[in-house]
């Protein structure tokens, strides 16, 4: 029998950088998942039973039901910026600190949003499939002719950090006119920095040549873009979604693409992902990627490190830098 005190136990819910697990091992007893797939809810609950903290991604659902089964839990730290998988009020009520990972992925995600918009406007994957299928026989004036990005009107729905980073790319790099819609209007100086003009959602839909969606998912943004909104867009317009599945009604979008109500779409996120609406898999005018907007190795490492920093601070009496409910620590 030794009277050595046991370190608090934490779970890393997904296979992750070994260096991040090592960092946590300096403070905690670490249970690190090495499975490629997420835990099923019952297994997550079982693994969390005697844990004081957990490092999660954007996929683990943390709700009141789960929290009720792990009374020792004090911190849920996510390496994602979007936190619609975490019921923050339920965490606060249970005295559990919740954190996300804003800031560190802004530029990488904006790069990807811009790349997806460009690939969509210039039909990059559609033409690659044609080439790979051995169908390229000659030059033709309208072969995969798309729409211009430079000088066009960039419409941004959701003007947070990532939206503003996309606006900078468009305005400063590609001479685009920027219009945006957001819950609240930006300070004038921030608008002026990228020449962005605030618009109503209806104006945004009407004016955008390229609409990029970066708005967080919540009950109020569910199906914010559906058939009625798609019908207001220009038939030559593109739509790019790097926000969350569910902001766009994927069935309505698949139909709008099939009917050429809009020219094309670029999608990194899907309702019910990793399932993809079958209608989106059969239309040619869509670029599809598997939720990888933040996926550069340095950025994924920075996201995991920020989650670990929050977890260490929350469980060792420090101040988690990106807490969503700092009041939970005082309960
Ligand atoms: C990715 O989607 C994130 O929210 O970080």
- Whether 273 is a known active-site residue: answer yes
CATH of the domain at 75: 3.40.50.720
How much is the average pLDDT of 137-152? 98
pLDDT(3) > 70:
no
Confidence (pTM)? 0.96
Judge if the beta carbon of residue 120 lies within 6 A of ligand 1: no
**207 and 121 within one domain:** yes
In the reported structure, the alpha carbon of residue 105 is separated from the centroid of ligand 1 by a whole-number distance in angstroms of 8
**Claim to verify: residue 245 and residue 121 sit in the same structural domain:** yes
| Residue written as token pair 């991040």 | 20
Domain membership flag for residue 3: no
Query: pLDDT tens-digit profile of 242-301?
Result: 999 999 999 999 999 999 999 999 999 999 999 999 999 999 999 999 999 999 999 999
Our count of domains for the chain comes to 2
Distance 102 CA to ligand 1 centre (A): 9
Q: For position 136, what pLDDT does the model report? A: 98
Quick check: 143 and 123 in contact, CB under 8 A?
A: no
Asked if residue 1 belongs to a domain, the reply is: no
Share of the chain above pLDDT 70, in %: 98
> Among 14, 244, 261, 277, which one carries the catalytic annotation?
244
Q: Assign 331 a pLDDT band (cuts: 50, 70, 90).
A: low
Domain region containing 29? 9-104+297-330
- Cβ burial of 174 (10 Å; 0-12, 13-18, 19+) is middle
Q: What average pLDDT is seen over the chain?
A: 96
Are both 303 and 180 inside the same structural domain?
A: no
Task: Please work out whether the CB of residue 80 comes within 6 Å of at least one atom of ligand 1.
Answer: yes
Let me know whether 125 and 271 are in one domain. yes
**pLDDT tens digits, 84-116:** 999 999 999 999 999 999 999 999 999 999 999
- Between the alpha carbon of residue 145 and those of residues 11, 28, 257, 284, the distances in Å are 50, 57, 17, 14
21 in ligand 1 pocket by Cβ < 6 Å? no
Q: Are residues 145 and 214 both part of a single domain?
A: yes
C-beta neighbour count of 296 within 10 angstroms: 16
Is residue 206 located within the same domain as residue 75? no
Say whether both 110 and 246 belong to one domain: yes
Do 118 and 266 lie in one domain? The reply is yes
Phi, psi of 105, deg, nearest 5: -110, 5
Q: Which atom of ligand 1 is nearest to 242's Cα?
A: 2
Has residue 306 got a pLDDT over 50?
yes
Ligand 1 near 113 CB (within 6 A)? no
Pick the closest to residue 123 from 330, 287, 312, 239 (CA basis): 287
Predicted confidence band at 330 (pLDDT cuts at 50, 70, 90)? Answer: confident
140 and 39 share one domain: no
Q: Which residue of 58, 289, 302 sits with most ligand 1 atoms within 8 Å of its CB, as the best mutation to test the pocket? A: 58
What confidence tens digit (pLDDT) does each residue in 47-65 have? Answer: 999 999 999 999 999 999 9
pLDDT at residue number 1? 47
Q: Tell me, using a 6 A CB cutoff, whether residue 56 lines ligand 1.
A: no
Average pLDDT over residues 28-38: 94
Walk across the sheet containing 29-32 and list its strands.
29-32, 9-12, 53-56, 75-78, 97-99
Q: What confidence category does residue 194 fall into, taking pLDDT thresholds of 50, 70 and 90?
A: confident
Cβ 105 vs Cβ 294: under 8 Å: yes
| CA torsion angle 238 244 250 253 (round to 10) | -10
């Amino acid at each position: 029998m030794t009277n050595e005190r046991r370190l608090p136990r934490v779970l890393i819910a997904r296979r992750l950088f070994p260096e991040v697990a090592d960092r946590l091992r300096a403070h905690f007893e670490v249970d690190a998942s090495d499975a490629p797939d997420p835990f099923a809810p019952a297994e997550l609950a079982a693994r969390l039973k005697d844990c004081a903290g957990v490092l999660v991604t954007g996929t683990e659902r943390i709700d009141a039901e789960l929290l009720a089964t792990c009374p020792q839990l004090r911190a849920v730290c996510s390496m994602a910026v979007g936190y619609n998988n975490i019921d923050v009020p339920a965490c606060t009520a249970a005295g559990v600190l919740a954190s996300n990972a804003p800031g560190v992925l802004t530029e990488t995600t904006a790069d990807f949003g811009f790349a997806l918009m460009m690939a969509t406007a210039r039909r990059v994957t559609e033409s690659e499939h044609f080439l790979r299928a051995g169908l390229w026989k000659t030059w033709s004036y309208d072969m995969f002719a798309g729409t211009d990005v430079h000088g066009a009107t960039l419409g941004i729905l959701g003007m947070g950090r990532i939206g503003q980073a996309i606006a900078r790319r468009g305005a400063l790099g590609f001479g685009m006119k920027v219009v945006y819609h957001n819950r609240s209007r930006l300070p004038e100086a921030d608008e002026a920095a990228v020449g962005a003009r605030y618009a109503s959602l209806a104006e945004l839909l009407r004016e955008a040549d390229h609409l990029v969606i970066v708005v967080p998912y919540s009950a109020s943004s569910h199906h914010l873009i559906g058939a009625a909104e798609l019908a207001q867009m220009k038939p030559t317009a593109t739509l790019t979604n790097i926000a969350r599945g569910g902001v766009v009604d994927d069935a309505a979008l698949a139909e709008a693409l099939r009917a050429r109500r809009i020219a094309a779409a670029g999608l990194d996120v899907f309702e019910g992902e990793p399932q993809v609406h079958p209608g989106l898999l059969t239309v040619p005018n869509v670029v599809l990627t598997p939720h990888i907007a933040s996926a550069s190795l340095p950025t994924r490492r920075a996201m995991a490190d920020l989650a670990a920093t929050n977890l260490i601070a929350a469980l060792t009496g420090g101040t988690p830098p990106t807490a969503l409910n700092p009041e939970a620590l005082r309960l």
